Amino acid sequence: MHNELYNAYWLMKKKLFLRNIDNQSVWQIILFLVFTLIILSKNIYSFVCMIDSTQINLSCMSVIRILSTYTVFALIISIISFIYYRQIVSWIILIVTDCWILANLLYYRSYHDLLSIWSIDSINQLQLYDGIIFPYCRLSDLFLILTTLLWVCITYIPRFRKKIITRNLTIFALTSVVVFFIPWTLMAHRSKNIINPFNPYYHDVSMGRVWYAQTFSVTAHGFNELFSLPKRWGDITDESVTVDLQDRLGVHTSVKSDCDVVIVLFESLESWVVDTTIYGNEITENINLLIREPNTLFVKNVFPQVKMGRSADAQLITFTGLLPVTQGITCMRYMNNTYPSLAEASSACFRKIYVPTSPSAWNQDAMTYAFGFKELYAEEVSDRVICNKLLDDVKAQDSSFFVMMTTMASHVPFEMYSDSSDIAMPMDYQYAKYLKSVNYTDACLKPLIDYCLKEKERPILLVITGDHTTLDTPMSNSVPFIMYCSEGVDISDGNMKETLQMDIYPTILNAMGCGEYYWKGLGRNCLDSSAVRINNAEELSNQLIKSNFFYMNNE
């Protein structure tokens, strides 16, 4: 009898315990797992978006590593959220997550990188107003909002409204953060000084977007940036200058060129647009005529190396042969530096930059003089107006000139001047407005191209190149480089394979007849098959700029 009562007692206690678990824990565990899956799905979506424009086959191990990395982070966020669970707390966490992921995706689609601490320093240059943002939005981005709305609906179910305050869960959450989160973040940290793996040029999984998205996800990138803050660059002394750099430096003596130079940085001009027809239209008719000239060097595919500075970085690379810093924007952080430049090498009497923006954009007023120019024309005008202004100025010169112009019509969102083009393009074609904007600027360049092709007393060099790409597609990974020289260009001994943007500087420098200029650049001369690039160019360029090396060298 005693045993029966004892067994009945424990059976009743077991039933009450199981019922208690059913009422208090099971549904909360389900709720916890659903929240974790929502966080995980948002991170996986961001990863898919980051690699959707590359043609990379993921291995089984890559998929496992991606899922494990993102799952750990999702669990940590969920545990933190459920320590003291409230509906409003979970909503705020999801909304903040959505905003952060979406902001990173929009920034990535434009700049091929993730937001960092340095992005705050340049927020006034990003111009993220509606017209700029909209072209980079995707209908699939609604997935982020819909998953958050799903969670809001779930939390309105009465059984899920209870607050969770358990001592064990609190201890477990804090332990998990210490045991998993901190070591995981430290292991995920990698240096980003050598390359920018987001660029489509780096297709290899070991250092390309797949690897980068695993270790620098939108949720971990900020933590990785924090670890990079303490790093500082000292001055480069004679002892620390490599043999390669010594080969690139000469005696700082005056070099005189009798060649007039015109450089056009064509906004967002991509290689696939040039020297071809699309829907029966020759988009760059006038540039194509220049390409067919016997005295023209045409490199179809040049890999752009710009970073957060975009057009400003293109100026830096083209004029100085250096590469932009990997943290922040060079023209914002190092505008007071001393730089070598093509303009200084030319020693032309008339040196001027023409930009269709305000002088403050990308610190153009300061960088103009840092790049060796003497004057700046900066007005918010059309490409036609700025082309005519430049042409009028150079026609009035009796002595040598070195001028540079940037265009603007083909800037995102391709709205302002697309209707000024006469080409017929199906408006349902995804890139119709972009192509019409490029065609408009090409027409604006016609008088300048015609002027340069005419016989003159002095030799003239006309360079047209894209500053960077703009469309996030597999074909949008290169810009063209066109260089016309009235005295002729010998390409018989050239090497145009796998040309990088930093190769433009030494190519122009030698075409100007300024090969004896003290700074040879980090790239290689495309007209010399024996020329080579410097090793670790990006890392070395970081050191040169951050230590203001050329100021010390000039003294």
Q: Which residues contact 157 (CB under 8 A, 6 or more apart)?
A: none
Give the bridge partners for 404, in sequence order.
263, 353
- Which comes out higher in pLDDT, residue 253 or 539? 539
Task: Say if CB 265 and CB 407 are below 8 A apart.
Answer: yes
Average pLDDT taken over every residue of the chain: 77
pLDDT at res. 212:
53
Run of H or E residues at 455: none
pLDDT at res. 198:
45
Task: Say if CB 307 and CB 113 are below 8 A apart.
Answer: yes
pLDDT at res. 272:
92
Task: Name the least confident of 2-6, 411-415, 449-453, 531-535.
Answer: 2-6
For residue 402, pLDDT over 70 is answered with: yes
Task: Say if CB 529 and CB 548 are below 8 A apart.
Answer: no
**pLDDT range class, residue 347, cuts 50, 70, 90:** confident
pLDDT at res. 17:
46
CA distance 295 to 255: 24
Instruction: Count Cβ atoms below 10 Å from residue 7 Cβ, excluding itself.
Output: 10
Residue keyed to tokens 């059913």? 22
For residue 475, pLDDT over 90 is answered with: no
Task: Name the least confident of 39-48, 87-96, 109-118, 441-450.
Answer: 109-118
| 116 CA to centre of own chain | 12
Q: Which amino acid is at 221?
A: H
Total residue count of the chain as it appears in this document = 555
pLDDT at res. 123:
59
- Which comes out higher in pLDDT, residue 230 or 301? 301
Task: Say if CB 310 and CB 107 are below 8 A apart.
Answer: no
CA distances from 14 to 6, 52, 166, 243 (A): 12, 53, 21, 79
The SS3 of residue 479 is strand
Highest mean pLDDT among 40-44, 207-211, 313-317: 313-317
- Which comes out higher in pLDDT, residue 166 or 297? 297
Round the CA-based radius of gyration of the chain to a whole number and report it.
29
Which DSSP symbol is given to 519? B
Domain ranges across the chain: 2-228, 254-554
Six-digit token pair at 23? 């009422």
For residue 138, pLDDT over 70 is answered with: yes
Residues 206-253 have pLDDT tens digits of 444 444 555 556 666 665 566 555 454 444 554 545 555 776 776 655
The SS3 of residue 249 is strand
**pLDDT range class, residue 160, cuts 50, 70, 90:** low
CA-CA-CA-CA torsion sign (278, 280, 283, 285):
positive
Q: Which residues contact 444 (CB under 8 A, 6 or more apart)?
A: 382, 383, 384, 387, 407, 409
CA distance 206 to 481: 30
DSSP secondary structure, 189-223, as one string: ----SS--TTSTT---TTTSHHHHHHHS-TTTHHH
Name the H helices within 266-381.
Answer: 285-291, 311-320, 330-333, 342-346, 364-370
CA distance 186 to 189: 5
* Architecture in CATH of 254-554: 3-Layer(aba) Sandwich (3.40)
**pLDDT range class, residue 488, cuts 50, 70, 90:** confident
For residue 454, pLDDT over 80 is answered with: yes
Instruction: Check residue 372 and give left, alpha or beta (phi > 0: left; psi -120 to 50: alpha).
Output: left
Task: Name the least confident of 165-174, 359-368, 385-394.
Answer: 165-174
Which DSSP symbol is given to 377? E
Q: Which amino acid is at 307?
A: K
**pTM given for the model:** 0.76
For residue 36, pLDDT over 90 is answered with: no
